[in-house]
């Protein structure tokens, strides 16, 4: 798999909700702070999106998509002068969602999903993103057109298995939106995600992800992408925010977390497969990055699963 797919797979995203809903004409809806990432697209009409921490409201029009990566409170309004109604109140008085309005003069109809991306991997993916990712360019809308048409079809028709299909479509929309965002050269932002859009840095990431247990040196990584050692080190740190070796260590620890949660393999085997000569060296690296020992992490994970 490519690095983005690997990170997403490690997070095992869970869908809170997926489907569609209408923001009626002349209204505004206030949504609470909630863990997770939301990704929705406007199917018809238009509305204003305001997110806590962002000074300017964003006008969303048909065919456009937005991502809210940090779970901040936000408001959707078809009339900016309207007094916002609390989402929970609105939901308690009537069914709200998975309904496609038949009136062509509707306010704004949106479809998408809300996902919980948990664990230390989530910060690697979402940390560099701004409060609002807005995809409104014509090229972006063209790229998403077929996906949105499929989503509208699913929320319009009550077909067997529709809920599962809609979850998958909403997740695919999130991945597509992230891909479009990182490929947009106008964003000019630093972070791991944006290294994926750089040919040389992306190749270096694929090397580390492809062979996490290999004893990579800075010189070998630089040579693998056709750069000098010094230029590669500077470019990687300026873009990703950490050195190549620090990134490699963190990626190894994220893989270790996933395997500690899922398997009963011995720590010595895990350490060896990730490039460490001893269980002790692996344990020190794990604690430095994750803040606890591998055994403590595994006990904590078991405790959390029992609580669930």
* pLDDT confidence band for 95 (50 / 70 / 90): very low
Q: Which CATH superfamily is domain 3-182 in?
A: Regulatory protein AraC (2.60.120.280)
Question: CA angle at residue 111 from 109 to 117, to 5 degrees?
Answer: 145
pLDDT at residue 104, as a whole number: 47
- Mean pLDDT, the chain, integer: 85
Identify the pLDDT of residue 18.
80
**What span, in angstroms and rounded, lies between the C-alpha atoms of 225 and 231?**
11
What's the CATH code, domain 198-307? Answer: 1.10.10.60
Is 279 in a helix, a strand, or coil?
helix
201-239 per-position pLDDT tens digit: 999 999 999 999 999 999 999 999 999 999 999 999 999
Share of the chain above pLDDT 90, in %: 46
**What mean pLDDT is predicted for residues 110-118?**
85
Q: How distant is the alpha carbon of residue 46 from its chain centre? A: 24
Query: What's the pLDDT tens digit per position in 146-196?
Result: 888 888 888 777 778 878 888 888 888 988 998 888 887 666 566 788 888
Cα distance from N-terminal residue to C-terminal residue, the chain: 30
pTM over 0.85: no
In angstroms, the CA 216 to CA 248 distance is 9
CB 110 within 8 A of CB 42: yes
User: Is the Cβ–Cβ distance between 60 and 115 less than 8 Å?
Assistant: no
* Domain chopping of the chain, boundaries: 3-182, 198-307
pLDDT digits (tens, 9 = 90+) for 43-55: 999 999 999 977 7
Tokens in use for 264?
Answer: 């009963």
């Amino acid at each position: 798999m490519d690095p983005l797919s690997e990170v997403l797979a490690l997070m095992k995203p869970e869908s809170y909700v997926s489907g569609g809903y209408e923001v009626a004409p002349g209204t505004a809806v206030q949504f609470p702070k909630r863990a997770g990432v939301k990704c929705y697209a406007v199917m018809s009409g238009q509305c204003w999106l305001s997110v806590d921490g962002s000074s300017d409201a964003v006008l969303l029009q048909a065919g456009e998509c937005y991502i809210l990566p940090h779970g901040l409170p936000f408001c959707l309004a078809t009339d900016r002068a309207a007094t916002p109604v609390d989402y929970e109140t609105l939901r308690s008085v009537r069914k709200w969602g998975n309904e496609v309005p038949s009136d062509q003069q509707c306010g704004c109809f949106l479809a998408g999903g809300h996902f919980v991306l948990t664990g230390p991997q989530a910060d690697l993916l979402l940390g560099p993103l701004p409060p609002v990712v807005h995809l409104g360019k014509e090229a972006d809308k063209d790229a998403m057109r077929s996906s949105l048409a499929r989503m509208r079809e699913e929320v319009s028709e009550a077909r067997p298995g529709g809920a599962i299909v809609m979850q998958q479509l909403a997740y695919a929309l999130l991945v597509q939106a992230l891909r479009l965002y990182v490929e947009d050269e106008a964003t000019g932002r630093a972070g791991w995600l944006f290294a994926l859009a750089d040919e040389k840095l992306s190749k270096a990431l694929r090397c580390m992800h492809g062979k996490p247990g290999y004893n990579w040196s800075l010189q070998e990584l630089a040579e693998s992408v056709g750069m000098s050692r010094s230029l590669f080190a500077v470019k990687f740190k300026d873009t990703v925010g950490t050195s190549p070796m620090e990134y490699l260590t963190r990626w190894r620890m994220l893989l270790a977390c996933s395997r500690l949660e899922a398997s009963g393999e011995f720590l010595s085997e895990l350490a060896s497969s990730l490039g460490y000569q001893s269980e002790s060296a692996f344990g020190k690296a794990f604690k430095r990055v994750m803040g606890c020992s591998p055994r403590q992490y595994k006990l904590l994970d078991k405790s959390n699963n029992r609580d669930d």
